[in-house]
Structure 1
Amino acid sequence: MEKRTLGDGLTVAALGLGCMGLSQGYGPADDATSVALLHTAIDHGVTFLDTAQSYGAGHNERLLARVLADRRDEVTVATKFGIVRGDDGVRLDAHPDRIPAYCDASLARLGTDVIDLYYLHRVDPDVPVEESVGAMAALVTAGKVRHLGVSEVDPDQLARAVAVHPIAAVQSEWSLFWREIEDDVVPAARRLGVGIVPYSPLGRGLLAGSTGPAAFRDNDPRFAGPARDANLALLSDIRALADEYRVTSAQLALAWLLARGTDVVPLPGTRNPARLAENIAATAVPAEAVDRLDAVAPRTAWSGDRASFAAYGSART
């Protein structure tokens, strides 16, 4: 697996693994099967594992701990704080006084003494981003965290974060299916020397052909009514192009994102070993196929806007 460098010197596999679906969002998952999948991913060079304290209310971090116990030195672990999931629902909390305890809890669940990349999962509207990042910087000084990241920020918030401490990565939704960050966040990240880690790089499953009921699609207007029909028609065109090169639509979509720049590290998630192998093979898709994709599926052709559900939906990812 090719290596790429994010921001202030964090070197990771070019393709990561988003682990959320092993604990929430896409129906029940079997832990033993999930652990086997994680081992397979590492065996094939997918060594950048992405989790969060909120995924399964801590379950996801504990799941990764079962793999890290024997393979910690082989992987780069990213986790996040700021979305708190409990019996009373989901809330945002990035108060600087509570960040050290969130970090310690993640370290304990992961069974490690250091987090390679620690993200602010969402900016807390009640806390200036500078204060949250300042508390995160103290964790680097204490040796509990190696690099810092932020997720779903706007360019101003990103610049304010970088002014406090170097930021290795910004994580945002980005795919052939959703390209809004190309207008502002991507240019800002490159100007500030921050790597870009796209989540949902397969368009919440659409670009892999998964469009059935799931918690993270049910409230998304891009998967409803006429917008869904239009997007499925566009997927059919992408599949036709993929067939020409004997690849899948998912491989083509991941290859397209990898080609956006060497500072881009997508995080496809899966619970299926066959899908994992398919995603890994995206690194070998011919450049000619990628070059043709923008004409087949231009940005303006997609339908629906995540804005109407972003405050609820994206705060749960």
Structure 2
Amino acid sequence: MASIRMLASQGLKVSSQGLGCMGMSFAFGPPKPDTEMIHLIRFAVNELGISLLDTADAYGPFSNELLLGKAIKGIREKVQIASKFGIHVENQLRTYRGDPAYVRACCEGSLKRLDVDCIDLYYVHRIDARVPIEITMMELKQLVQEGKIKYVGLSEASPSTIRRAHAVHPISAVQLEWSLWTRGAEKEVIPTCRDLGIGIVPFSPLGRGFFSKGAQILEGLADTDMRKKEQPRLEFENLKHNKKLYDKLQDLASAKKCTPGQLALAWLHHQGDDVVPIPGTTKIENLKENFGALSVTLNKEEMQDIEAIFHEDCAAGERYKYMNSTTINTETMPLWKWQTPGSL
């Protein structure tokens, strides 16, 4: 069973590894059957002790929260639900919103879809640069006081924004992309989190499946799978280069008698007790494999061997093909410039 750890200094306790639920309903091809995904989620909770379940209103949109709401019936006391708001899609146009009315409406909608009285960890999914983070945080603070959310998180925020948000109400977790080939956050964002006692939740810790299967990850993917359309690291010459990285990872994993994916996850687990990765999967066998990473121990020399290969600039290609798909290290409008919500 997964061990339980304090994710942040505010008291949030979660399993040492979480479960990302996005791919069950969104982005990685057609949605998977609810019955199969409910079985997987309950297996993760009941058999492996995984308690942190990650979703968002944007996944679907909405269908992933509905799925999770069904899955946690009867086991609510065993899990911590993490959901997110802030990505607004209308007429196929994607924007980011952090104005108070939107924050509240999103929270109310997520509570209904999840069929819970309180969301354990509620993230700002993407930062709205037009709204001072203090304004967004004041509404989140009010939702905490009302008992609708317990803890507040940020995703893809800059160090300055994290500090400004934390000054209004304690931030319990920052979600960011962190893996063997995505290490930019180690310079400033992660040190900022540690300075403030904020937990770190890496998403895509397996490089969207690349560290589990290498180039074979592309085989049999649906045309609607984002990895076929929006992942430069899996395209053409970039893939040829990155496959060499995977081959080296495979060699290291063979020496450790584990899988490449387990080694990639174990490297993250060895970054500190404040790090809780949330690998996603839709298959029980992959879930078990990912869970097995918790049993892989690495010494200082082995960590150095891994990092000699997977340094910050090791990968060919950007994180996303269309960089408006993410807002990395987002700064927000200064508070003194904020006048009225009508300025949005």
TM-score range, shorter chain: over 0.9
The residue aligned with 1:164 is 168
Q: Give the percent of matched residue pairs that are identical in Structure 1 and Structure 2.
A: 39
The residue aligned with 2:307 is 294
**Structure exhibiting the larger radius of gyration computed from Cα positions:** 2
Q: Out of 220, 229, 238, which is 2:249 matched to?
A: 238
TM-score by length of 1: 0.95
Structure 1 residues 234-266: Cα deviation after superposition (integer angstroms, max 9, x where no partner): 100100111122211100000000100110000
Q: Out of 23, 32, 35, which is 2:38 matched to?
A: 35
The residue aligned with 2:12 is 10
Q: Secondary structure at the match of 2:238?
A: helix
The residue aligned with 1:48 is 52
The 8 Å contact of residues 65 and 109 in structure 1, kept in 2 or not, is answered as yes
Taking a change above 3 Å as real, the CA distance of residues 41 and 314 of structure 1, as seen in their structure-2 partners, is farther
TM-score by length of 2: 0.87
Structure 1 residue runs of 5 or longer lacking an equivalent are none
In 2: Cα distance, 1:96 partner to 1:272 partner: 38
The letter for the 2-side match of 1:75 is: V
In 2: Cα distance, 1:312 partner to 1:151 partner: 13
The 8 Å contact of residues 103 and 140 in structure 2, kept in 1 or not, is answered as yes
1:269-288 to 2 correspondences below 5 Å: 269-288=280-299
In 2: Cα distance, 1:284 partner to 1:314 partner: 34
Q: Secondary structure at the match of 1:286?
A: coil
1:1-317 to 2 correspondences below 5 Å: 1-7=2-8, 8-28=10-30, 29-43=32-46, 44-209=48-213, 211-212=217-218, 214-216=225-227, 218-288=229-299, 289-290=302-303, 292-306=305-319, 309-312=322-325
In 2: Cα distance, 1:228 partner to 1:201 partner: 18
Greater shift, 287-296 or 276-285, is seen at: 287-296
The 8 Å contact of residues 204 and 217 in structure 1, kept in 2 or not, is answered as no
Greater shift, 86-95 or 39-48, is seen at: 86-95
The letter for the 1-side match of 2:237 is: P
Taking a change above 3 Å as real, the CA distance of residues 90 and 52 of structure 1, as seen in their structure-2 partners, is same
Alignment length (residue pairs): 315
1:293 Cα deviation from its structure 2 partner: 1.7
1:312 Cα deviation from its structure 2 partner: 2.0
1:222 Cα deviation from its structure 2 partner: 1.9
Greater shift, 305-314 or 167-176, is seen at: 305-314
1:126 Cα deviation from its structure 2 partner: 1.8
The 8 Å contact of residues 7 and 14 in structure 2, kept in 1 or not, is answered as yes
Greater shift, 281-290 or 66-75, is seen at: 281-290
Structure 2 residue runs of 5 or longer lacking an equivalent are 329-344
Structure 1 residues 147-182: Cα deviation after superposition (integer angstroms, max 9, x where no partner): 000000011111111011000000000001110000
In 2: Cα distance, 1:130 partner to 1:308 partner: 31
The 8 Å contact of residues 68 and 111 in structure 1, kept in 2 or not, is answered as no
Structure 1 residues 211-248: Cα deviation after superposition (integer angstroms, max 9, x where no partner): 31531452222222322211111100100111122211
The letter for the 2-side match of 1:36 is: H
